[in-house]
Amino acid sequence: MNHLSNSLAAVDIATTLHPYTDARAHEVNGPLVIARGEGVHVYDQAGKEYIEGLAGLWSVAVGFSEPRLVQAARRQMEQLPYYHSFAHKAHEPSIRLAEKLVEMTPAPLTRVFYTSSGSEANDTVVKLIWYMNNALGRTKKKKFLARIKGYHGITVASGSLTGLPNNHRDFDLPAIPVHHLTCPHFYRFGAEGESENDFTARLLAEAEDVILREGPETIAGFIGEPLMAAGGVMPPPAGYWQGIEALCRKYDILLIADEVINGFGRLGSSFGAVHYGFTPDVMVLSKQLTSSYMPLAAVLFTEEIYQAVADNSARIGTFGHGFTASGHPVATAVALENLAIIEERDLIGNAHRMGKLLQEGLAGFADHPFVGEVRGAGLIAGLELVADKQSRRTFSCGCRPHLQGISER
């Protein structure tokens, strides 16, 4: 430790608890300190260049150090650096962004609520739907359906919706009523001899069985990433989302699309729900909304939900939920400029065109003895590495988590 005593790494080790990190291993290994970023590259303190293959955390849609976003933040900081949206207050950037998001997203989504992260947004979804159902006298309709390996955040409610064991272990989660259904990944969860269509049918039958067992009057919502990302980049099997949407309509269950990673073009389409051909009642957006230059997330929902919530807020006298930074003026100003760049540079079209090249190129590895499956859509892809191709046995991975997605040059 002596050689680190005056370094940023030493201060970090002495003061910081890192997310998604083995704290004891971090004490030994220390951090990779990133000093700056430009385009698709980041640079450490020594000036070494890395390709940031994960775009931060699936975030930086327009690249690092985009001057237009810096300027948008500066302009807004100079004019109105902060204001809240409680008790009838508003400001232009958040109003204009809500208008833009309603314009961009599928037709039934007419209302916007802002948070600062996807986790807060999914917590808000849970509370919003509970509030609505109580207002409508449907006091038993509180349970959620999610999927094993799904990722929806790490706060108490959103972490409960997440279907990854390490997000639950020793946190006493799930802490809300949620049922995790089979992960819709055919390669890993398909039965021997089962076709993809049979797999889809089995998953839909499972979902319906759970709904009927629990009682449709108790199921509030079904939440899912259109393409499951953090759990392993897993596209859904054919017909899956159409079947899930049909079940939600049949049993009066709200369909929630978690687009925090899929949204704004990553799949080569505007949103994952558009890409896979289903219409959600609620959509959650973050990350690429501002290219993560500023923390911001948005919950979009239907007019039907809004009207029930609005009526109840009139009865109570308020909608008792919100955050100090909800719709922060600098964050929403940056988001507006970020979305303008995405449109002007046709980045969604580019993701579609380049995504074809990426997927075709990676498909060439499918016959490699250590590649079990190549999968993805647009500019998101995964190669599943296996120790044995026939049994699909995986390798034991000793990767340092903070290096995943970063390639040295």
For the chain, which domains are there?
A: 69-344 (3.40.640.10), 348-409 (3.90.1150.10)
**Cα 387 to Cα 393: distance, rounded to the nearest angstrom:** 6
pLDDT attached to residue 403: 33
Using omega within 30 degrees of 0 as the cis cutoff, is the peptide bond preceding 237 cis?
A: no
Report yes or no on whether pTM surpasses 0.85.
yes
**Cα 114 to Cα 94: distance, rounded to the nearest angstrom:** 9
Half-sphere exposure of residue 314: CA atoms within 13 angstroms, side-chain side: 6
pLDDT attached to residue 396: 77
Average pLDDT of span 170-179 = 98
Cα 192 to the center of its chain, rounded Å: 31
Percent helix / strand / coil, the chain, rounded to 5: 40, 20, 40
- Token pair, residue 107, equals 């037709």
pLDDT tens digit string along 213-250? 999 999 999 999 999 999 999 999 999 999 999 999 99
The two beta strands, 380-388 and 297-302, are unpaired
State yes or no: pLDDT of 406 exceeds 80.
Answer: no
State yes or no: pLDDT of 270 exceeds 60.
Answer: yes
State yes or no: pLDDT of 408 exceeds 90.
Answer: no
The two beta strands, 219-224 and 254-258, are parallel
pLDDT tens digit string along 315-358? 999 999 999 999 999 999 999 999 999 999 999 999 999 999 99
Q: How confident is the model at residue 205 (pLDDT cuts 50, 70, 90)?
A: very high
**Residue 119 vs residue 7, higher pLDDT:** 119
State yes or no: pLDDT of 43 exceeds 60.
Answer: yes
Q: What is the DSSP letter of 237?
A: P
Nearest residue to 138 (alpha-carbon basis) of 244, 213, 221: 221
pLDDT attached to residue 3: 46
The mean predicted confidence, pLDDT, of the chain is 95
Q: How confident is the model at residue 93 (pLDDT cuts 50, 70, 90)?
A: very high
Q: What is the dihedral of CA 171, 16, 329, 34, to 10 degrees?
A: -120
Question: Under a CB-based contact definition with an 8 Å cutoff, are residues 377 and 355 in contact?
Answer: yes
Q: Cite the DSSP H helix spans in 317-394.
A: 329-344, 347-363
State yes or no: pLDDT of 176 exceeds 60.
Answer: yes
Average pLDDT of span 292-314 = 98
Cα 299 to the center of its chain, rounded Å: 12
State yes or no: pLDDT of 4 exceeds 50.
Answer: no
pLDDT attached to residue 294: 98
Average pLDDT of span 285-314 = 98
**Tokens 């009838």 appear where?**
88
State yes or no: pLDDT of 69 exceeds 50.
Answer: yes
Helix (H, G, I), strand (E, B) or coil at 299: strand
**Tokens 């979902």 appear where?**
207
Give CA separation, 372 vs 53, 357, 369, 390, in Å.
21, 20, 8, 8
pLDDT attached to residue 405: 54
Query: Which residues are within 8 A (CB) of 269 and not within 5 positions of it... i.e. 6 or more apart?
Result: 275, 348, 352, 378
pLDDT attached to residue 6: 54
Q: How confident is the model at residue 401 (pLDDT cuts 50, 70, 90)?
A: very low
State yes or no: pLDDT of 189 exceeds 50.
Answer: yes
